[in-house]
Structure 1
């Protein structure tokens, strides 16, 4: 009887012999043959790609930062300002928005004092106060100073927003806090139009609203610090406000409930700001050190200085609008 060939398969009841070239589970694993040195080289290359040449130091600093956070080993001032968190994370998060989305162009940054107290007074617009955040970033990156914003009551009543505002250096918009910070040499930011500015209809864009009673001027007069007028063009177009629902806004405890061409029609997508071109110009400081603190009680003087600041910002806005080639250019 002829022998059964190998091609015909194994003889029934007889186990197949193990092949010399059989594959083990280790060999079959797709990562099994990669040496440790290649893993380390790949991680090193990834670090270079993401963090640059100095990635090891940056990673070590990041780990140290989180360790301090977990251990509670960090400093905040009496207002809750967390300098390190603001510098490392808030500014870093805002920077690509400023540079890539709004393409903010800053002028007159030399008018920000290198040290000592000063009051930056700006127009306010945009339905959502994004202009305040962009101003903080511009001052931080170009003047190497932290801007301490004065915020409305609503900011400090909102969950999460309140905590973030405090940690980023904001405090309540009251004369007492403003004077304390200015006396300590802080750079303070104020938007006197308040909700009347950011909540005005698109048809009234770049027309300044009332500046209130001039409390910011009184604070500057009492502390003798310069007032730096700031004009911002571009924020009016990020959320063009074409309507409002006042009854629902009152129910929710809000100053207004905006309706834009895209919100609420497009839902969450309508909350993405339009990529308008921004221009910021810091004007020449208005000095107040020639006045005595007692003169801050003179309502006519306060009114005149307030009007001077307002007119300076308004005229600069008109100049910037003429210079801007297009809204989104």
Structure 2
């Protein structure tokens, strides 16, 4: 049949083959209504196609749903809407900050800045680098005072930041964990301001009791620098839990104690040596040497991507103790030892379950 050739309705499967016939057009149907074959010959090339679609079916490309494109951004309508909403939120946030339309508590905690800036900056580490797995989040009360007591490690206290983020993001009520920090944190420029604004406060009995008395969720790492600055050969071996000041505060406030066990922090900066002489010169608790620092310079500050597990144990109640228990050295010692043993045993179990440090 000689006629002006019109491209077929379906254009999925063109194939080329070499021929030597003059330019012609032919159409044949082996199974009418089910299959048609088209061919066109031009010079020495033949394009052929076979399709199983019945006549009248729409072109396959028409069956694919496409997101409408924004005429302004060139992106999909949904993506443009999300970007617009994000920009609106950012402008509103900046306007409030410039106008001073925000509040902080007596300790300097700025919840808006924490949720809008600080926590989002930590989430890539939390979700994709350390791949934190959280267990027992239901053991943290939905409201009211409680004291979270955790092991401390990692050369740099990243574990406290990850614990704060875990509580906020995983808990149904998105509570803020008010971390207790050492004096050194509040002596460092910039770091001091950021710590205050993110909810941290000085690790002293007076501040702890005020926070618990106002119904806050407080976090303490009683090993202090002895835990965070220990050598890698001592990993996951708990150090002494101070003098039990956190237990006294919990007893006075009748706040439950929630043991928290953290696996993964020990491997982010494995400390193989401590430059004691330099630490004394700089008046620092320690100066670490790791497999990457100081050998790689600033690259040595990048933490290794260990696999993290954070487990919150069942609360240990303190409201059943008699009056004056907070001043009883034996009660404080026994309760401190109980919390420490709970965390240590949980660490051993989590290490077995995790397997490889970077798996």
TM band (smaller chain): 0.7 to 0.9
Counterpart Cα distance in 2 of 1:86 and 1:292: 39
Q: Closer, same or farther in 2 for the Cα pair 1:191/1:42, shift >3 Å?
A: same
- 1:125 maps to 153
| Equivalent of residue 174 in structure 1, options 190, 197, 204 | 204
What RMSD over aligned residues (CA atoms) do the two structures have, in Å? 1.5
- 1:9 maps to none
State yes or no: 1:58 paired with 2:115: no
State yes or no: 1:108 paired with 2:136: yes
- 1:323 maps to 353
Query: TM-score by structure 1 length?
Result: 0.85
Any runs of at least 4 consecutive aligned residues in structure 1 with deviations exceeding 6 A, and if so which? none
Counterpart Cα distance in 1 of 2:194 and 2:283: 20
Q: Closer, same or farther in 2 for the Cα pair 1:79/1:44, shift >3 Å?
A: farther
State yes or no: 1:135 paired with 2:163: yes
Bigger radius of gyration among the two: 2
| Equivalent of residue 82 in structure 1, options 90, 110, 114 | 110
State yes or no: 1:199 paired with 2:229: yes
Indicate the SS of the match to 1:229. Answer: strand
Counterpart Cα distance in 1 of 2:77 and 2:129: 26
Shift of 1:175: 0.5
- 2:319 maps to 289
In the alignment, structure 2 segments of 5+ residues that lack a partner are: 1-69
Shift of 1:43: 2.7
Counterpart Cα distance in 2 of 1:110 and 1:153: 32
State yes or no: 1:276 paired with 2:306: yes
In the alignment, structure 1 segments of 5+ residues that lack a partner are: 1-39
Higher relative contact order, chain-length normalized (CA < 8 Å, sep 6+) = 1
Shift of 1:54: 3.4
Shift of 1:247: 1.4
For residues 210-234 of structure 1, give each alpha carbon's deviation from its aligned partner in whole angstroms, at most 9, with x where no partner exists: 0010000000000001000000000
Indicate the SS of the match to 1:290. Answer: coil
1:1-80 aligned at under 5 Å gives the runs: 41-43=71-73, 45=75, 49=79, 53-80=81-108
State yes or no: 1:211 paired with 2:206: no
1:224-263 aligned at under 5 Å gives the runs: 224-263=254-293
Q: Is the 8 A contact 1:121 1:190 kept in 2?
A: yes
More helix by share: 1
Query: TM-score by structure 2 length?
Result: 0.78
Indicate the SS of the match to 1:308. Answer: helix
Q: Is the 8 A contact 1:112 1:282 kept in 2?
A: yes
